Amino acid sequence: MSDDDDDNDDDDNIQQGLQLVADNDTRWNSVFLMIQRALQLKKSVDLYCLQSTAEKDGLSREDNLTADDWEVLSEIRDILRPFAKVNKAYERNGLTLSGVVGAMGFLVDSLQENLERLSPVTDVAPPPTPSRPQRNTKLPSHLQQFHVDLPTSQRTASLQAAFSQASTAIEEPTAETTMAQALRPSINAAIAKLQEYNALLHDSPAYWITMILHPGHRVRWMDLCLSQQSRDSHVATFKRCFQSQYAHLDVPTVEDTPEPVILSKKRPAQKTDSFLTANRSDYYDDVTHHDEINAYLTMPRNQVGKPLEWWKDRIT
């Protein structure tokens, strides 16, 4: 599944033999794949609906997809795309418990972004203008016995009538506001459900311990995405687990350490999914500027009986 598949020309998709697909209850991402394929074949679908509507027993006009319907489908596809990306990644070998926390955070963030994008923009009321002094509209004292229709009174009455009529008018909702009103409750429900799972993750040490034990993560993701209190809590749990389960075991000396397994240079490195690294380009340390002296001086000191052999084992 590629993000660029949706941008292909409709004629190219037809030449490639693409057909519409239906959703089902037994396949992950089936709704996403159904909508994505329909958007890829939008011109063909519109042409079929147009021709079928003209036939005697064809589609009714109510069943045709309007421009607003296509816009809604496009929004739903974009909302579901991160879920399809995560599911696709976990179909491969290599992703374990260490990636669950990052994947869950990625999904929540993507839903939050969509919710903010679809939220109505609150109009800021203009600052109040200072009121000007009201003009005195009383009759002069020598004309008090006469009845006169003052122009200002007529103007005030007409303005009040116009204001009353405008305030009772109901603005028709646009297609964009209607679509946002329909999608926001679903996004909120999805965020609430994922937050329930996130709460369970925080109470499950296995996910955080496996992340810390992963050489590519350790505490980097927690430093970027968690509060200091949560980060310190998970690290403390990891230390307690280590002390209770492994601290009493003997640490092997260099002589007892087996020879390292050297992988074939022809084996390609596995690409890490961006959602596991909080979408940060600086997630990993820059090994090209690694300070070997500082790394050596800060290494734990072990009993080494043969120093030359120790250095030979570490020559790259």
What mean pLDDT do residues 72-76 have? 93
- Indicate whether 89 and 102 sit together in one domain: no
Q: Strands, E, within the chain: which ranges?
A: none
- Indicate whether 246 and 194 sit together in one domain: yes
- The pLDDT of residue 224 is above 80: yes
What mean pLDDT do residues 268-290 have? 64
Residue ending a domain, choose from 61, 77, 94: 94
What mean pLDDT do residues 60-80 have? 91
> Which residues constitute the domain of residue 88?
1-94
Of the chain, the end-to-end C-alpha distance in Å amounts to 39
- Indicate whether 248 and 103 sit together in one domain: yes
Predicted TM-score of the model (pTM): 0.66
- Indicate whether 105 and 208 sit together in one domain: yes
- Indicate whether 2 and 101 sit together in one domain: no
Residue 311 maps to a domain: no
204, HSE (Cβ side, Cα atoms, 13 Å): 14
Q: Which residue has the higher pLDDT, 223 or 164?
A: 223
- The pLDDT of residue 228 is above 80: yes
Give the pair of three-digit tokens for residue 250. Answer: 């003997």
What mean pLDDT do residues 235-261 have? 71
* Closest among 275, 278, 271, 272 to 220, alpha carbons compared: 278
What mean pLDDT do residues 17-24 have? 89
- Indicate whether 115 and 239 sit together in one domain: yes
Residue 189 maps to a domain: yes
- Indicate whether 54 and 113 sit together in one domain: no
The angle that helices 67-90 and 30-40 make with each other, rounded to 10 degrees, is 130
What mean pLDDT do residues 258-267 have? 44
Angle at 44 between CA 40 and CA 49, to 5 degrees: 125
Residue 208 maps to a domain: yes
Q: How much is the pLDDT for 170?
A: 44
Q: How much is the pLDDT for 262?
A: 41
- Indicate whether 112 and 229 sit together in one domain: yes
- Indicate whether 233 and 102 sit together in one domain: yes
Q: How much is the pLDDT for 169?
A: 45
Residue 56 maps to a domain: yes
Number of domains in the chain: 2
Q: How much is the pLDDT for 213?
A: 85
Contact yes or no for 302/254 (Cβ under 8 A):
yes
Residue 6 maps to a domain: yes
Residue 306 maps to a domain: no
- Indicate whether 101 and 19 sit together in one domain: no
Lowest mean pLDDT, pick from 22-26, 79-83, 166-170 = 166-170
Residue 134 maps to a domain: no
CB < 8 Å & 24+ apart, contacts of 105-109: 105/198, 105/221, 105/225, 105/278, 106/82, 106/275, 106/276, 106/278, 106/279, 107/82, 107/83, 107/194, 108/191, 108/194, 108/195, 108/198
Q: How much is the pLDDT for 264?
A: 40
- Indicate whether 86 and 180 sit together in one domain: no
Q: Which residue has the higher pLDDT, 232 or 301?
A: 232
- Indicate whether 185 and 59 sit together in one domain: no
pLDDT in tens, 98-136: 888 889 999 999 999 999 988 775 544 555 555 555 555
pLDDT in tens, 154-165: 545 555 555 455
Place of tokens 């020879």: 259
Contact yes or no for 45/65 (Cβ under 8 A):
yes
Residue 195 maps to a domain: yes
Proportion of the chain in helix, strand, coil states, percent, rounded to 5: 60, 0, 40
